[in-house]
Amino acid sequence: MEDVARETGITKSSLYYHVSSKEELLSRALERAFKWLLGVLDEPGAQSGTPLERLRHIVYRGVIITLAFVQEVELLQRVKGNTPTEREAMMRRRRFDSEVAKIVREAIAAGQVDASIDARLLTRLIFGLGNSLTQWYRPDGRLRPEQIAEAVSHLIFEGVTRRN
């Protein structure tokens, strides 16, 4: 809390007026990440269309949200279940993962996604790729979020090999 007070330039007592503890600070940041990430699943593009179309929508929008809330998503990744807030976050993260895994399986069943890749593994790779963005992305960097979301989608769905 002392670090936060110093960084934001307010006194520690002012900070405690707004948030009661470090735990609450974490809880609020995770709340923001979930509100937006889980929100993607409720968007029209994730609700209608073929499984492949829905999956494409979730990947693209998931990247956009990850980049817009890069610090919150990074926190979410680090959660290990040490406190009630962290355990709650892990449960919601798992629910998000399994919703996406379900759509992956539907896309495979519909013959739209290659059945040679194991569905759970594929879901993990998609999340791994999306999560890795927080390691290097800087909002003031050279690439716009839309460019990155396009590239990630292209990699996942079309692959990089050029076909003639």
**Tokens 């992305």, located at residue:** 137
Q: 3-class DSSP state for residue 53?
A: helix
Shortest spacing between CB 117 and a copy of itself, in angstroms: 5
Would you give the binding string for a copy of itself spanning residues 94-133, x where CB under 8 A is met?
-----------------xxxxxxxx--xx-xx-xxx-xxx
Residue 157 binding a copy of itself, by CB under 8 A: yes
Report the residue number, 40 or 156, with the smaller CB distance to a copy of itself: 156
87-95 own/partner pairs: CB under 8 Å, 24+ apart: 89/30, 89/34, 92/34, 92/38
Residue 159 binding a copy of itself, by CB under 8 A: yes
Question: Which of 135, 138, 139, 140 is the binder for a copy of itself (CB under 8 A)?
Answer: 135
Cβ distance 40 to 56 under 8 Å? no
Report the residue number, 91 or 155, with the smaller CB distance to a copy of itself: 155
9 backbone φψ class: left, alpha, beta (φ>0; ψ -120 to 50): left
Type and span of the H or E element at 110: none
Residues in contact with a copy of itself by the rule CB under 8 A: 52, 111-118, 121-122, 124-125, 127-129, 131-133, 135-136, 143, 147-148, 151-152, 154-162
